[in-house]
Amino acid sequence: MTSPNWSLVLHGGSGVIDRADLKPEQDRAYRAVLTQAAEAGSAVLRRGDAALDAVEAAIHVLENDPLFNAGRGAVFTAEGCVELDAAIMDGATLEAGAVAGVTHVKNPISAARRVMERSPHVLLIGRGADAFAEAQGLETASAGYFFVEGRWKALERQLAREGKPIPQRPKDADTDERHAALAHDEGKRGTVGVVARDARGHVAAGTSTGGVTGKSWGRVGDSPLIGAGTYASDRSCAVSGTGEGEYFIRLSVARAIAALVELKGLSLQAAVDQVIQTDLEALGGHGGVIAVTPDGQMAWSFNTSGMYRARVADGQALEVSIYKDEP
């Protein structure tokens, strides 16, 4: 069998996502946006453009949609702000860029890409990263743009449980909640990620997240850390993770999967299952990954009750799934 000319896999976060928890309209809304994101990415690949462009285009759709914990709809810190993390990596060159703790970049994945392409660095954080993105002419957004009522309620519940004070709501909070009201609380977290393989056989990966609800002290998870939540190499595969970042960092999840493919010759599915179902599980962590190889293998694996996910390849139908009992 010849491998497909291009392939794309995406996730919209893993966590507590049980069939019984999602109303039919929520289920439909999530599947619609996952489809839209997969179509945005595959349109780029179908034109013959780079995997990197497909990753960025698909992540924009997910970042701009309030259902996902990335960009608009990101979870709140204990201080009632958003602190966004993102990373992107080009498997052809091993170039990578990332930002952590940005507060007013509309699309953090594009900030990560600018770090990769227009700075000598890999990772910029906080105020400096925001200033860099602005200097690069990237679109900014106010605190109100990112605001989603359901995420705020999740913060209030969490802070009440922890006996911490509830901060003031952002003043210009966007009140159009019709679509955003469909957001499901996956249990503190969520993330979006895309991996792609283009017609030239290059792979790329990108991940974008608000992190975890109620985070403090400048907490940063795995998503913007190359090798932990994001990794891409044409010698092995491209990987994006979602889950308890602290465990993903300790296991270098994304790079560990790439190493199993590159150095041990495991199939992509065997490699993702080894790291998620065996290693992450043994350490007591929860989450999932998506991955793609330069020869067109696509895989996902997660040990949570669900993971928003989709995959599509040249000549193959788009598959969109949410729960564990789906393919």
Q: Which residues bind ligand ASP (CB under 6 A)?
A: 13, 189-191, 209, 211-212, 221-223, 229, 242-243, 245
Amino acid at 270: A
| Minimum distance from residue 209 beta carbon to ligand ASP (Å) | 5
Q: Which is nearer to ligand ASP, 213 or 236 (CB)?
A: 213
φ, ψ dihedrals at 308, nearest 5°: -65, 130
Distance between terminal CA atoms of the chain? 21
d(CA 93, CA 91): 6
Q: Which is nearer to ligand ASP, 7 or 223 (CB)?
A: 223
d(CA 35, CA 213): 26
Q: Which is nearer to ligand ASP, 86 or 313 (CB)?
A: 86
Give how far the C-alpha of residue 218 lies from the chain's centroid of Cα atoms, to the nearest Å: 19
* E strand residue ranges, the chain: 7-15, 84-90, 95-102, 123-125, 192-197, 203-209, 230-232, 238-243, 287-292, 298-302, 306-313, 316-323
Q: What is the DSSP letter of 202?
A: -
d(CA 85, CA 226): 12
191 catalytic? Reply is: yes
Catalytic site residue from 103, 191, 207, 213: 191
Catalytic residues: 191
